[in-house]
Structure 1
Amino acid sequence: MSNKTNYSYVGMAFIILVFGIIFVPRIVDRIKNQDITRNDRMSQGQDNNFKDNSKLIFLEINGEAKKVPDFSFTDQNGKTITNKDYLGKVYVVEFFFTTCPSICPKMNKNLVDIQDAFKGNTEFGVASFSINPAHDTTEVLKEYESQHGITNPNWHLLTGKKEDIYKLSNEGFNLYTAQDDEVEGGFEHSGNFALIDKNGFIRSRVLNGNPVIYYNGIISEAEKTDEDGQEEQISMLKEDIKKLLNE
């Protein structure tokens, strides 16, 4: 092989490397700075080509990897749980409420499916934050746990001050949450899950050049697609949990 050909390959590799270093973080920043709307558009229209061995990227804001903000709430066992309790664990975050008549049962059924896929793994957990803490006391959350097949000791159903939970949701994760007496159930919230690594960083994969910041939590792996043709992302989430557990 000639030196000219070798230089060509080196040049192409250098261009690809520079593109990844410069543009991927900017793409993430641009999408993140647009904020999440009620339709959670960042998780829509993604390709369902989930078999991917690439490492998950860090969500970067202004050049810094985004960490889960500090929090402190009470779980279904009356125990104070903070973000530090999840250090060393890979975990999924959701916002829900126990009397939700629509998407919450689907989301938590999918989380139980994920829980069972990692049964016995002490490094996997879930954080479920109630957006109706006035109703969702520790006793209510404990009953919800028993009724919905929640067995992972690292799955904490969390309640606390409403303003703190809403700030964590809307500002800490940019996952939409609001009280609205005109909608069914009285509350609106995102149907997406966030994935957190062992060091408390929000992680993402890239599909077709676009970061998948959050994972659709409503459509089950068995359903494949919803009535609008949107494809499930639970299988993708399971794969990405495995990747982070192996890091």
Structure 2
Amino acid sequence: MKKRLLGLTGIMILSIILSACSNYKFKADVNYPIEDFTMTDQRGDTVTLDDLKGEPWLAMFIFTNCTTVCPPMTFNMTGIQEELIERGVEDYKLVAFSVDPEFDTPEVLTRYLSNYPVPDDSKWHLLTGYDQKFIEQFALSSFKSFVKKPEDGGEVIHMSTFHLVDETGTLVKNYDGYSADGSISFDTIAIDMKTLIEERLGK
């Protein structure tokens, strides 16, 4: 009898969890339209805001000579992609804006990405092809994110945030992209991206 009650309790708990997951609704935290842009990715292809529209994309600001937060942020992004693949999510993009565009050419960005366990690099756009002043203004105006290259030639200062942009090109949510204790929630971000897609398709 006791085993039967435990079994029934387990089934009830599982049902509640599954019900909660199926009823989950995405809730935007912010509403910032991204400015139009024309940039170049690591393949040498031109990428515009319109090219990214139609599906959600997760963005970050990094540079290849970074010795602090950029490597773990990039590694975390590969973990999020693994989670997306496991959940069967296909309609998304992963975008990285270089905050040191003078050094980060498409060739440099390609080499940088090859150092990470990227499950599917076709989804990635590492962007460059603009000047330093532009990226500092663009990050602030579109993402409310701080970027500054010190005049003394030190490492570029930037934030370690992941930015979720919806299919219309609007920033809707921010996440911590780096944590010293490794507490980044890959599944939370993947679920939000999957939910955005399903709500757009009316599923």
| TM > 0.5 | yes
The answer on 1:240 being equivalent to 2:196 is: no
The answer on 1:187 being equivalent to 2:146 is: no
Judge conservation of contact 2:89–2:194 (CA < 8 Å) in 1: no
Judge conservation of contact 1:169–1:175 (CA < 8 Å) in 2: yes
The answer on 1:57 being equivalent to 2:31 is: no
Shift of 1:239: 2.1
The residue number in structure 1 matching 2:135 is 165
CA distance in 2, matches of 1:155, 1:102: 21
Judge conservation of contact 1:216–1:234 (CA < 8 Å) in 2: no
- TM-score w.r.t. the length of structure 2 is 0.77
Q: Which deviations, in whole Å up to 9, do the C-alpha atoms of 1:122-162 show, x marking residues without a partner? A: 41111100010111011101111212233331210000222
Structure 1 segments unaligned to the other structure (5+ residues): 1-50, 61-65, 205-213, 225-231
Report the secondary structure of 1:92's partner residue.
Answer: strand
The residue number in structure 2 matching 1:67 is 33
The amino acid of 2:106's aligned partner reads T
Q: Which deviations, in whole Å up to 9, do the C-alpha atoms of 1:22-61 show, x marking residues without a partner? A: xxxxxxxxxxxxxxxxxxxxxxxxxxxxx7823323634x
CA distance in 2, matches of 1:102, 1:136: 17
CA distance in 1, matches of 2:26, 2:136: 31
User: Where is the helix percentage greater, Structure 1 or Structure 2?
Assistant: 2
CA distance in 2, matches of 1:234, 1:91: 15
The answer on 1:104 being equivalent to 2:70 is: yes
Report the secondary structure of 1:135's partner residue.
Answer: coil
The residue number in structure 2 matching 1:6 is none
Deviating above 6 A after TM superposition, structure 1's stretches of 4 or more consecutive aligned residues are none
Judge conservation of contact 1:55–1:243 (CA < 8 Å) in 2: yes
Q: Which deviations, in whole Å up to 9, do the C-alpha atoms of 1:88-108 show, x marking residues without a partner? A: 111111110001000001101
The amino acid of 1:169's aligned partner reads A
CA distance in 2, matches of 1:88, 1:172: 18
Question: 1:154 and 1:130, CA in 2 relative to 1: closer, same or farther beyond 3 A?
Answer: same
Report the secondary structure of 1:147's partner residue.
Answer: coil
The answer on 1:94 being equivalent to 2:64 is: no
Aligned length, in residue pairs: 174
Report the secondary structure of 1:153's partner residue.
Answer: helix
Q: Which deviations, in whole Å up to 9, do the C-alpha atoms of 1:66-88 show, x marking residues without a partner? A: 32111111000100001111111
CA distance in 1, matches of 2:151, 2:164: 30
Report the secondary structure of 2:191's partner residue.
Answer: helix
Structure 2 segments unaligned to the other structure (5+ residues): 1-20
Judge conservation of contact 2:52–2:169 (CA < 8 Å) in 1: yes
Question: 1:181 and 1:101, CA in 2 relative to 1: closer, same or farther beyond 3 A?
Answer: farther
TM-align CA RMSD: 2.3
Q: Which deviations, in whole Å up to 9, do the C-alpha atoms of 1:101-121 show, x marking residues without a partner? A: 000011011000011222374
The amino acid of 1:180's aligned partner reads P
Percent identity of paired positions between Structure 1 and Structure 2 = 29
Report the secondary structure of 1:100's partner residue.
Answer: coil
Judge conservation of contact 2:83–2:187 (CA < 8 Å) in 1: no
The amino acid of 1:216's aligned partner reads D
Show the 5 A alignment for 1:79-228.
79-119=45-85, 121-150=89-118, 151-161=120-130, 162-180=132-150, 186-204=155-173, 214-219=174-179, 223-224=182-183
